[in-house]
């Protein structure tokens, strides 16, 4: 555990820094105002009821794609010799939210994209993208707005281990050496 004021060390492989894209903030101002006052707002109560009722149903890979430059590891090694750090860039998005109130099921599409380049502004040497359908059930009678906020917030965390496993599998089939991807984190509240 880090003490307050100390910085977490950067994850590196060789002299290459790993950087992940920032995660979007999903908490509304009303949620923070109620939390700061030590009470739950009606919006927070509806959200918490969804959290209590939601049951994970499925994660299904809908699409996947990977591309590797013919000599990606050699180009990464050459970039390192020239003083450039290899950059791992991860993007994610949540879209396609739907809710069936009769069946109490909600779903969305979570997309991840990963690219590795030999340095800032250099061509990507390795690209992987995946789309997952994430489904929750048990949501009969819940507020649809709270369900939307819930699934848009938690679905990417549910799908990310599957993306990490897919990337690990693809990397094992190539000549690229890299550590496991970092964990996905939610931005901290100030």
Question: Tell me: the pLDDT tens digits for 12-46?
Answer: 333 333 333 333 334 444 445 445 556 889 999 99
Residue 53 confidence (pLDDT): 97
Residue 14 confidence (pLDDT): 39
Residue 10 confidence (pLDDT): 38
Average per-residue pLDDT for the chain: 80
Give the residue carrying structure tokens 């894209």: 21
B/e letters for 5-25, b = 16+ CB within 10 Å, e = fewer, are eeeeeeeeeeebebebeeeee
Residue 189 confidence (pLDDT): 57
pTM listed for this prediction: 0.72
Residue 21 confidence (pLDDT): 35
Residue 186 confidence (pLDDT): 81
Lowest mean per-residue pLDDT among 4-8, 66-70, 97-101, 133-137? 4-8
Residue 177 confidence (pLDDT): 75
How many CB atoms are closer than 10 A to CB 87?
Answer: 20
Which of helix, strand or coil describes residue 128?
A: strand
Number of H helices, E strands in the chain: 4, 6
**Quick one: average pLDDT of 61-81?**
84
**Quick one: average pLDDT of 47-75?**
92
Domains of the chain with bracketed CATH: 13-21+55-172 (3.10.420.10)
C-alpha 85/C-alpha 119 separation (Å) is: 5
Residue 85 confidence (pLDDT): 65
């Amino acid at each position: 555990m880090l003490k307050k004021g100390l910085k977490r060390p950067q994850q590196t492989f060789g002299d290459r820094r790993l950087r992940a894209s920032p995660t979007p903030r999903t908490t509304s101002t009303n949620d923070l105002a109620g939390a700061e006052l030590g009470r739950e707002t009606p919006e927070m109560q509806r959200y918490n009821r969804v959290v209590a009722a939601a049951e994970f149903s499925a994660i299904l890979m809908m699409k996947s794609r990977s591309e590797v430059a013919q000599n990606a590891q050699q180009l990464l090694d050459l970039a390192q010799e020239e003083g450039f750090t290899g950059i791992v860039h991860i993007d994610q998005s949540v879209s396609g939210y739907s809710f069936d109130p009769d069946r109490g099921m909600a779903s969305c599409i979570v997309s991840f994209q990963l690219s590795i380049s030999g340095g800032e502004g250099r061509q990507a040497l390795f690209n992987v993208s995946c789309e997952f359908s994430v489904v929750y059930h048990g949501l009969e009678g819940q507020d649809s707005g709270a369900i939307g906020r819930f699934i848009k917030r938690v679905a990417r965390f549910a799908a990310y281990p599957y993306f990490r496993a897919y990337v690990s599998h693809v990397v094992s089939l190539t000549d690229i050496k890299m550590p496991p991807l970092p964990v996905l984190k939610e931005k901290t509240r100030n």
